[in-house]
A and B are shown apart, each in its own frame.
Chain A
């Protein structure tokens, strides 16, 4: 496929203006394990509009990562329908619809930062000159300009995770999937990166799905918060955030913020009571 195939694809999905970027209906996923079947997702229905920032929050085992992996075609739902940009997840993956940021930065230690960001571009067959241009652009985007020649071990954990976000952005997918990307980082670094992610989202307008288990993180970042609960993994509440798109860090002390955080906490608790 030619490198501009994905942009055509993105344009095509844009033209169907009202169509959701991600649409899940009655999604079920049952894992067959040695201890018998485990229902990872039960009757999950969700629709994500273009430009949304959606956080998935819930205790471990609630299926939030599984749902993200279904969107990325890393898992296949047992039943139900799931479309990404109007395509099946597998087609969407081949059309480079999304960039995926994993829990660990997962940078290759034998490649420089620039080399790591170049990796998906090499695989996707971008011409060399364009690879260079794209690497430069995304390095600036995540504030790592000048670090391209460093090796991962020369960077802090936060910088590594930023490089991995840059890698997910390099091929211009219009969806960004992030699976607890800052889970392993300390609070201070995490705050800064949250601010940067928000900035990045404002500048690029990418539809973002963000898995987390931190309530403040979810409320601070999202336009839509999906609260999930485990056994079986299901959605217990979907909160549309009334917070403005422009969010300084101290918005986290405002009454609106605390009200949403409260509702999320209630949702999480409700999920547990039902057990």
Chain B
């Protein structure tokens, strides 16, 4: 764990450096326009002429204003510290010090990323549980039933080739028309994405016991259910957790996509709102929050895996 810290830190530093460098040419046109409006002499000619010049050239020939690209009000690419500030303002700032925050009102502010992350987390967890359960049940069916073995897998694969952005609004609309709203439609979309890795992993896991182990069960006249419960399921646990880690990340993506058409809170809604109003910093902050959420969920699965395997006697 401790040995991992330094390499991770180096990679983070490198990415941040790259990000800062990239922010300069990305924002330079706005920066130069602003400077010109402010009465400064800028290189590159008129606004129309500047359109044909490269961003790098503009940045290098206007060195006195180029670094303003890190402090734009509405940047094309916000600098890392701007995103960090927005993240702080929309979490701790909003909840602890804000007029509508948790510390003032006892409720989470609907402007805070904590609130929106909570909305997303709820639908993600419900969708993940539905998806994982469906995946395990389908895998059990596939392993035990020849007809299911032949028929389910191709459909499961096809289901994943349909772009979820196309499918999500349809699911929302159809479910809305039968009166189902709120968390459930989003959970269904996230379940739709998360069942697949579980099916694939669990089919492999449930088939992990070798011929000898199955013969052995047969010599004891074990029923299929006993073989499933005492041999196949325990043997599939390592496969299950590998799948669950992928599935929970997919569930989060599904929820966020599901939040785009609904616009009733959640990180997805927040990102879309940010793009409507040109609030790139808000989009990036929501994106970062989603990344933190995903990291937490995957870590949680890893933690559960370690606990489960230890309880099953696997040497630590």
- We find that the number of chain A residues with CB closer than 8 angstroms to chain B is 26
Do A122 and B313 have beta carbons less than 8 Å apart?
Answer: no
Taken together as a complex, chains A and B put the C-alpha atoms of A123 and B224 apart, in Å, by 11
Closest chain B residue to A90, Cβ basis: B221
The stretch that binds A, out of B107-115, B127-135, B226-234, B251-259, is B226-234
Do B314 and A102 have beta carbons less than 8 Å apart?
Answer: no
Taken together as a complex, chains A and B put the C-alpha atoms of A110 and B313 apart, in Å, by 5
| 30 A/B residue pairs, CB under 8 Å, sorted by A | A69-B215, A73-B218, A74-B219, A93-B218, A93-B219, A93-B221, A96-B221, A98-B219, A100-B215, A100-B216, A100-B219, A102-B212, A102-B216, A104-B212, A106-B213, A106-B216, A108-B234, A109-B313, A109-B314, A110-B312, A111-B313, A112-B313, A119-B230, A120-B220, A122-B230, A123-B220, A123-B222, A123-B226, A123-B230, A124-B221
- Give the chain A neighbours of B235 by CB distance below 8 A: 108
A245 within 8 A of partner (CB): no
Taken together as a complex, chains A and B put the C-alpha atoms of A120 and B219 apart, in Å, by 9
Q: Is the interface of B mostly helix, strand, loop or mixed?
A: helix
A151 within 8 A of partner (CB): yes
Do B212 and A110 have beta carbons less than 8 Å apart?
Answer: no
Taken together as a complex, chains A and B put the C-alpha atoms of A73 and B218 apart, in Å, by 9
| Min CB–CB distance B224 → chain A (angstroms) | 12
B106 within 8 A of partner (CB): no
| Min CB–CB distance B121 → chain A (angstroms) | 32
Do A103 and B312 have beta carbons less than 8 Å apart?
Answer: no
Taken together as a complex, chains A and B put the C-alpha atoms of A153 and B316 apart, in Å, by 12
| Min CB–CB distance A269 → chain B (angstroms) | 31
Given contacts A110-B312, A110-B313, A151-B313, contact A94 B212 (CB under 8 A): no
Taken together as a complex, chains A and B put the C-alpha atoms of A69 and B216 apart, in Å, by 11
Contact of B218 among A74, A119, A151 (CB under 8 A): A74
Contact with A along B205-216 (1 / 0, CB 8 A): 000000011011
Taken together as a complex, chains A and B put the C-alpha atoms of A218 and B226 apart, in Å, by 36
Taken together as a complex, chains A and B put the C-alpha atoms of A119 and B216 apart, in Å, by 11
- Give the chain B neighbours of A123 by CB distance below 8 A: 217, 220-222, 226, 230
Chain B residues in the interface with A (C-beta under 8 A) = 212-213, 215-222, 226, 230-231, 234-235, 237, 312-315
Closest chain B residue to A95, Cβ basis: B221
| Min CB–CB distance A183 → chain B (angstroms) | 13
Taken together as a complex, chains A and B put the C-alpha atoms of A93 and B220 apart, in Å, by 7
A138 within 8 A of partner (CB): no
Do A106 and B212 have beta carbons less than 8 Å apart?
Answer: yes
Taken together as a complex, chains A and B put the C-alpha atoms of A74 and B218 apart, in Å, by 8
A72 within 8 A of partner (CB): yes
Taken together as a complex, chains A and B put the C-alpha atoms of A109 and B235 apart, in Å, by 9
Q: Which of A69-112 contact B (CB under 8 A)?
A: 69, 72-74, 93-94, 96, 98-100, 102-104, 106, 108-112
- Give the chain B neighbours of A109 by CB distance below 8 A: 312-314
- Give the chain B neighbours of A124 by CB distance below 8 A: 220-221
- Give the chain A neighbours of B217 by CB distance below 8 A: 123
Q: Which of A152-173 contact B (CB under 8 A)?
A: 153
- Give the chain B neighbours of A99 by CB distance below 8 A: 219
Closest chain B residue to A112, Cβ basis: B313
- Give the chain B neighbours of A103 by CB distance below 8 A: 212
| Min CB–CB distance B86 → chain A (angstroms) | 48
Taken together as a complex, chains A and B put the C-alpha atoms of A187 and B314 apart, in Å, by 29
Which 8 residue pairs across A and B have the least CB separation, nearest first?
A: A110-B312, A151-B313, A100-B219, A120-B220, A123-B222, A110-B234, A123-B220, A102-B212
| Min CB–CB distance A226 → chain B (angstroms) | 21
| Min CB–CB distance A169 → chain B (angstroms) | 13
- Give the chain A neighbours of B313 by CB distance below 8 A: 109-112, 151
Taken together as a complex, chains A and B put the C-alpha atoms of A111 and B213 apart, in Å, by 14
- Give the chain B neighbours of A100 by CB distance below 8 A: 215-216, 219
- Give the chain B neighbours of A120 by CB distance below 8 A: 220
Closest chain A residue to B315, Cβ basis: A153
- Give the chain A neighbours of B226 by CB distance below 8 A: 123
Taken together as a complex, chains A and B put the C-alpha atoms of A100 and B314 apart, in Å, by 26
Taken together as a complex, chains A and B put the C-alpha atoms of A73 and B315 apart, in Å, by 36
Output the residue of A102, A112, A124 with the most chain B CB within 10 A.
Answer: A102
